[in-house]
Amino acid sequence: QVQLVESGGGSVQAGGSLRLSCAASGYSNMRRCMGWFRQAPGKEREGVATIDEYDMLRYTDSVKGRFTISRDNAKNTLYLQMNNLKPEDVGVYYCAAKHGVCSWYQYEYPYWGQGTQVTVSS
């Protein structure tokens, strides 16, 4: 059974940084598509960043140059380094995993973590 557990959320001022972690278990091959999604209050969940089995990275436009997705296969852990945080980055951040190619569509991901809250004050 696949389990994804996020950590690292918190509250920072605008311009600050946070690093999110997602520990995966029961996922026999970390070298699949893994991604970070976020959901702001009153909004739909959106894709933030993905990393595929070839380590190709993709970012949504609003976080390019500020966020970095990475993973440590030996530790079965996915990361999201978030720098220069802005108030519009507020939301619950979720780690997700799927087999096959990466996608921005949340409904294609069968595995999800419980989410971690990120709050950014101006």
* DSSP collapsed to 3 states, 85-103: CCHHHCEEEEEEEECCCCC
If we measure between CA atoms, which residue out of 22, 1, 24, 17 comes closest to residue 79?
22
Q: For residues 67 and 62, what is the distance between their CA atoms, to the nearest angstrom? A: 9
Record the tokens describing residue 55, joined without a space: 């380590």
Residue 30 has pLDDT above 60, yes or no: no
**To the nearest whole number, what is the mean pLDDT of the chain?**
94
| Single-letter code of the amino acid located at 54 | Y
| pLDDT reported for residue 32 | 83
| 35 has pLDDT over 90 | yes
pLDDT of residue 31: 60
In this prediction, residue 117 carries a pLDDT of: 98
Model confidence at 68: pLDDT above 70? yes
pLDDT at 29 over 80: no
- Pull the structure tokens for residue 121: 């004050």
The pair phi, psi for residue 102, each rounded to 5°, is -75, 160
Structure confidence at residue 95 (pLDDT): 97
Q: Position of tokens 């799927």? A: 98
